[in-house]
């Protein structure tokens, strides 16, 4: 996949995460057709303009933790946005993925081709 197509796939996938749900960088990569490229997801989200309408704050580390340093402005902003959508964030910056994770419903393509 070319870089522009990969970026578009990542942003499109993040836009599909429903309000009140979260996903991991790795899950976003897999859903975007870029399995194993979690770091690419982080880079793409980090490069997106502030006014870009992509819900970056719904993407977390694989263990449900916020990737920003605890107490940083970015951390506080992510917590604020998640809580506004009803997502419970612990004092240590962790979200219960069982309660708030974006369920993976396989598409016909995924069922047929993996």
Q: What is the reported pLDDT for 1? A: 72
Contacts of 22 (CB under 8 A, 6+ apart): 58, 59, 60, 64, 82, 87, 95, 97, 100, 101, 102
CA distance 88 to 44: 25
pLDDT tens per residue across span 46-75: 988 777 789 999 999 999 999 999 999 999
Residue ranges of the chain with per-residue pLDDT less than 50: none
| Domains, the chain | 3-113 (1.10.10.10)
Classify residue 43 by burial, with Cβ atoms within 10 Å: 0-12, 13-18, 19+.
middle
Q: What is the reported pLDDT for 107? A: 53
């Amino acid at each position: 996949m070319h870089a522009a197509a990969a970026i578009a796939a990542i942003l499109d996938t993040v836009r599909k995460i429903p309000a009140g749900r979260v996903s991991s960088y790795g899950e976003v990569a897999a859903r975007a057709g870029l399995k194993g490229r979690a770091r690419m997801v982080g880079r793409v989200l980090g490069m997106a303009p502030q006014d870009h309408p992509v819900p970056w704050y719904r993407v977390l580390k694989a263990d449900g933790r916020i990737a920003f340093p605890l107490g940083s402005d970015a951390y506080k902003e992510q917590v604020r946005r998640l809580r506004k959508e009803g997502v419970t964030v612990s004092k240590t910056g962790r979200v219960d993925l069982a309660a708030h994770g974006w369920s993976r419903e396989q598409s016909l393509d995924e069922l047929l081709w993996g």
